[in-house]
Amino acid sequence: MLLGVSIVFVLVGAAGFVWWWNLQPWVIRVEAAQLDVPGDGFSHNGFEELLVRFVDARGYVAYEKWLANDEAVAALDAYLATVAAISPENAPDRFRTRADRLSYWLNVYNASVIKAVLVNWPLESVTDVTAPIEVVTGLGFFAKQRFVVGGKEYSLYDLERSKIRDEFEDPRVHFVLNCASGSCPILRPELPQGSALEEYLTHAAREFVGEERNVRIDHGARRVVLSNIFAMYEKEFVNDLRRRGVPGGVLAYVQSVAPADLRSQLDEASDYTVEYDEFDWSLNAQ
């Protein structure tokens, strides 16, 4: 009996150690001087200028060209060195509005994803970056890698979940956050701060659902095929409807943010079967 109990404790302890070891962070640090920041607020202009240079109209990124350009790599590192030192947590006076804080975290997430791709280049998919034991897809890329933001270490999962989704409860962020994969929303060079962010998020949602790859109606089969993002975060989309006093499920959410022509088509499809595309993890590389 005692031998059996001892074996169980040993196995449990070994399993715990393996899990702890599996998730030991890999911190991606940058060696660069910080950018000059304004006396008030925070500027993302340096990062946006890089996106203008290396992201095409489809939202695809020229990672190889970016990595081959020492000046561009240094510019991204300088931006990341600046966010490593300054964040809404340790410098709240610089981020007085909700929009300023949300814009900061959205930019930092997207910049960190790009840095992670460049560090691990060449890649065909972010899923190529694996933990020693990859128990769920993306564990290595999104959970094991860490970035310093405002003096604290965060994984990409931490940034997305605790700093963006939980804190702001706005599902439109899923139309802006880019995970460097085919099924993600396109990467946009501009991401405004202040009052302009609200209109920007509304536009991003309308543009995402307006893409045929994300919302397709098959009247013959009486079905609507949606991006897998709507399956992954269904609860958040439905909860947003409830906060707005709008009844319905994920299809009702899609209709609520859709452009006018698609909204009218969705009226006819309100009782159709909803299906979801398989998530495309191929890299969003030019």
CA distance 160 to 154: 10
Per-residue pLDDT band for 5 (boundaries 50, 70, 90) equals low
- Mean of per-residue pLDDT scores for the chain: 92
Q: Would the pLDDT of 10 be above 70?
A: no
CA–CA separation, 283 and 181 (whole Å): 5
pLDDT score of 39:
86
Predicted confidence (pLDDT) per residue in 61-94, tens digit: 999 999 999 999 999 999 999 999 999 999 999 9
Pairing of strands 152-155, 26-28: unpaired
Tens-place pLDDT, residues 12-25: 454 454 444 555 89
pLDDT value, residue 7: 62
User: What is the helix (H) or strand (E) element at residue 99, kind and residue range?
Assistant: helix 98-119
Where exactly are the structural domains of the chain? 25-190, 207-276
CA distance 259 to 256: 9
pLDDT in tens, 217-276: 999 999 999 999 999 999 999 999 999 999 999 999 999 999 999 999 999 999 999 999
**pLDDT score of 16:** 52
pLDDT value at 8 more than 50: no
What does the pLDDT average to over 161-168?
A: 97
* Spatial contact of 228 and 279, defined as CB atoms under 8 Å apart: yes
- Global pTM value: 0.91
- How far is it, in rounded angstroms, from Cα 53 to Cα 225? 34
Give the pLDDT mean for 28-49. 92
